[in-house]
Amino acid sequence: MEFTAIKGFKDILPEEVASWQRLESTARRLFEAFGFFEIKTPLLERTELFSRGIGRETDIVSKEMYTLKDSKGRGMTLRPEATASVVRAYIQNRLYQKNPIQKLFTVGPMFRHERPQKGRFRQFHQINAELFGDPGPRSDADIIAMAMSLFESIGFSGLSLNINSLGCQQCRPRFKSELKEFLLGKIDSLCVDCRRRSETNPLRVFDCKVETCNRIVADAPSILGFLCDACRNHFESLKDYLSRSGIPFVLNHQLVRGLDYYTRTTFEIQTDRLGAQNAVAGGGRYDGLVKLLGGPDHPAIGFAVGVERVVSLMAEEFSPEIKCPDLFIAALGGNSERESFQWVMDLRKYGLWVEMDYGSKGLKALMKKAGRLGAKKVLIVGENELSSGIGLLRDMDTKAQEEVGLENIVTNLRKYF
């Protein structure tokens, strides 16, 4: 029997890992420049953390979570998103006591049971950033600028920043009531899911990917017309900060995001190269979530980057760097193999990629292997070379050979790299 990966779960092969590393290392450098610190949270959390934090009526909680019971019958869930876990860690570890403004980011896998498609898997990876403690629009602009800078840093262009406001607990109910009434008049034309959503969580209708529903909500009332004075001033200030920073944006009153905890600012960074699932990053403000999950009433804003989607775009735009050994040692004979093994170990301590064959082969076979590996240089050492104390160093590109002293060989070879 040949085992294969579970549907929706994907191996990340060595030739793909370079793009992942480039994205993650770029994110870490950039986020640190913005004052963010990395945090790592468990993959498994109590189910109630997500059902309460994300919302019981969301598709994630009602349909997509991987949940199990422990020996005492308690619900445990593989995290479907990172924000609730980071908020739990923020509360549990009293991070707000160390600094009233906390800037945190995390990198890792999430899990949702949904239909796999281009750029979307059941185990997927996100880069998340969360800023706690400031309620104002300047922190919104700061974190949006950081998200946009990430894509600029990896060389992306042609992306669209979409922004919206979801209001607050004072002004959103009036909009929800108006939206429910609008959807009631279109109920027969909505998909099955949106008929349910129109009653339980009408804002989620904006998130539907069914074309018929998209056409209907295009004529729906805009939440921007229902904002209270505080939410309107917040949103106007955000737009001003973005404009002053030279960050273009699109007002998108249909942008709601899929989670219940969002308030006021919501945003997505979109591309036209991924079909219906066109967001490469998205997030927003969630001022009530810390209190909802048992912590102090602290405001927060954050975003997530879909790593698989971004990596797929990177593969289209950039040729991955092909890494090859710096040196291959072609050792001929038992004594040469023993000496060469120690040289390999010593050279690797200096960060050089050095290889030799595990078996005993002739020179022709060893040179062929060095060529397959793409080694830049080959050191040829046989019994004669050991006796004379002089090895041959061949440049695999130019085919030029030169002698190199075997005494202090590690020092001698390091001069070439």
Q: Are strands 37-38 and 327-331 parallel, antiparallel or unpaired?
A: unpaired
Amino acid at 317: E
Kindly state the helix (H) or strand (E) to which residue 128 belongs, with its residue range.
strand 123-132
pLDDT at residue 1, rounded to an integer: 83
* DSSP secondary structure letters along 13-48: -HHHHHHHHHHHHHHHHHHHHTT-EE----SEEEHH
Q: pTM of the predicted model, to two decimals?
A: 0.85
Residue 277, pLDDT above cutoff 70: no
In angstroms, the Cα distances linking 263 to 87, 120, 331 are 16, 26, 66
User: Of the given ranges (45-49, 183-187, 390-394, 402-406), which has the lowest mean pLDDT?
Assistant: 183-187
- Each residue of 228-265: pLDDT tens digit? 999 999 999 999 999 999 999 999 988 887 666 788 99
SS3 percent helix, strand, coil of the chain, rounded to 5, is: 40, 20, 35
Residue 274, pLDDT above cutoff 70: no
User: Of the given ranges (23-32, 177-186, 241-250), which has the lowest mean pLDDT?
Assistant: 177-186
Q: Are 344 and 354 in contact (CB under 8 A)?
A: yes
pLDDT at residue 337, rounded to an integer: 94
pLDDT at residue 276, rounded to an integer: 55
In angstroms, the Cα distances linking 184 to 195, 199, 201, 207, 411 are 9, 9, 13, 17, 79
Domain boundaries, the chain: 14-171+227-317, 327-411
- Each residue of 353-362: pLDDT tens digit? 999 999 888 9
Determine the average pLDDT of the residues in 25-43: 96
In angstroms, the Cα distances linking 67 to 45, 48, 206, 320 are 10, 11, 27, 37
Domain 327-411 annotated CATH 3.40.50.800: yes
Confidence of residue 273 (pLDDT cuts 50, 70, 90): low
Dist CA 67 CA 88 (whole Å): 18
- Each residue of 136-151: pLDDT tens digit? 999 999 999 999 999 9
* Cα 120 off chain centre by: 12
In angstroms, the Cα distances linking 40 to 65, 76, 86, 299, 401 are 20, 18, 8, 21, 50
Q: Are 174 and 225 in contact (CB under 8 A)?
A: no
pLDDT at residue 182, rounded to an integer: 86
Determine the average pLDDT of the residues in 57-73: 85
Fold match between 14-171+227-317 and 327-411? no
Domain at 14-171+227-317, CATH class: alpha beta
Residue 275, pLDDT above cutoff 60: no
Confidence of residue 300 (pLDDT cuts 50, 70, 90): very high
pLDDT at residue 258, rounded to an integer: 61
